[in-house]
Structure 1
Amino acid sequence: MKVMSVVGARPQFVKLAALAEAFSHTQHQHVIVHTGQHYDADLSDAFFQGLSIPDPDVHLGAGSGTHGVQTGTILAALDPVIGAARPDWVVVYGDTNSTLAGALSAVKQQFPVAHLEAGLRAFNRRMPEEHNRVLTDHAADLLLAPTDGAIKHLTDEGLAHRAVLTGDVMVDVCLRLRDRVLRGEAVVPAFPASLDLRKPYLFATLHRAENTDDSGRLAALVNALAGLPVPVVLAAHPRLLARAASFGIKLEHGSVRVSRPLPYAELVASVLESCGVITDSGGLQKEAFLLQRVCTTLRAETEWPETLRGGWNALVPDPRELGSRAWSDTVLRPAPKASRHMPYGDGEAATRVVRALEHRLFR
């Protein structure tokens, strides 16, 4: 069986690490295509090296651009690559422009498509990620769903016959690295002395268009972070840095300490050492949950509603509506004492994905 993985962004590289590991124990051919959607070394090369992912077989070098331009560039570059390789499966990951472009290129050429992390819904059609998820699910031949909730969404949309519950492959990687960090085998982050960092600290990321593309909203969110009573390590995505610079917003003031984006092992270690997480990232919400750190999500909705149960995750679309004291109490709340449910699988999802691809191919 020849399987082609199409990836282009940081969360996809983490998922790819799990699948590449699973394929390494089989006789199947696994071809990796990197679209170049994330091309910054901290968001790309560091993940391939840190997670021991084989080098991409093809790098398209698509780069940045508007959603339409980026999706179209990737689609045009992928067509001859997929056509020449003639894979038995094209696997696309998550909800980025690379995901949608990979699915469209494959189905237009009549190659089977499997969507890893299928069935997630935030029910917010303003999000580019939501468009990508829904369109990819309806185009794909095999829907690899991480949760029971994802299966329900696919069933509601008439797609149950294409869906398989595999669990979440990010759990495979996150828990493996967590155990390495706790055993002292993986690097613990050494933040620069210039951050003037003390414990306890909060770990934060901010990158979604809804939070970064409006100057007033971005300034309000940064000021909310800056006003907290403990240091906030803000791992700054290039998108955030560019938007803040264009708006004349100073990120590093008050409690905010700006860090580069972290390789995955360092990110896991940083979350473990923190007293909580603040983010608008879907992946980091779930990673905080897996690492048993409370998370505050700067959005009105989440594609991972399981994290909300028991108070592990809290949605705060606008900290100003809470007031400074309530905002501080929210992000610094203690971890729940009730036993934690585990809705995302047992760390063996990638093996189930490979089996699902084998079963659907040869049956």
Structure 2
Amino acid sequence: MDFELQHTDTNSCARAGKITTDHGTIDTPIFMPVGTLGSVKAVHIHELKEDIKAQIILGNTYHLYLRPGLEILKQAGGLHKFNGWDRPILTDSGGFQVFSLSGIRKLKEEGVHFRSHIDGSKHLFTPENVVDTERIIGADIMMALDECTPGDADYSYAKKSLALTQRWLERGWKHYLETEGLYGYKQAYFPIVQGCVYPDLRIEAAKHVAALGADGNAIGGLAVGEPTEKMYEMIEIVNDILPKDKPRYLMGVGTPANILEGIERGVDMFDCVMPTRNGRNGMLFTSNGIMNMRNKKWADDFSPIDENGTSYVDKVYSKAYLRHLFISDEILAMQIASIHNLAFYVWLSQEARRHILTGTFKSWKDEMLQRVTTRL
């Protein structure tokens, strides 16, 4: 994997770059739709490509490991062949999902023992076998196994957690260097900076990660219960240390406002389930603000969903029609909302990129921030 830093904004830390993988290029900053089980919920691949204009999607190691399972994925030739997506894929390590199963998992030095949420069967994730699992899935970008510390963790717990994450990282990194991909293309491996909301721990973690010289680096353990201001503070601290010539991935964040603030602080890659999850529940993110499509006010509004939208659903369907679908519990409502929200998130990141390249990012971002946080 290669990364070219093309331009840095003169009034902020916002960056425009290009990631090149064996499955294609990615223009940064970029938002990556989440395809937990190899499928972005309610969205076809041709819509992801042609309408949403997604350049990369995510898969979830924990869920894919359990279903369809590694044997099926290996027989298929990896996730690209299995789901038909021929552009880049990133997989998380499964750590966040495992650690959210607090009642049915145990952390140990060797790794994390857990029970499947599907049938209760016992499993073990180690730094090494997670690399092997991501090799079988065939992601272009693989994430290291870490512990995602809760945002309200006390200092003592966060320090112990970070130490374990760092020991796991050393093992995972070694195993990554000693192994190769299975399908004839290269796979990158991103370490993850943890440390909760404690500046000294984040600094220690960022220095440890930066020293490895990986193809890219991730920032984890944010948007997990800590105040928003703390999240932004941690991003700034970490990005002061992480290499400028490598992409930076902020994991699981977040709202359009979070993305704009993250870009301003030097983040290149984002993912979040919010566009699809909130969309399925009737919340639309638009260039003018946030809409609850179940509200009565949209019942006789026959204007486009988003007159500035880039998706075909914005042009074809009206607010009144989409509200009708939601009120009637029609499945099409969830599909339209998911397509719109994902297209908006991708557009927002690419519009930020355009303004970074033209030198107008800061003024555009300040104006856009007001718009995307407005409740319509």
TM-score, normalised by the number of residues in structure 2:
0.28
Greater relative contact order, per chain length (Cα 8 Å cut-off, separation 6+) = 2
TM-score, normalised by the number of residues in structure 1:
0.29
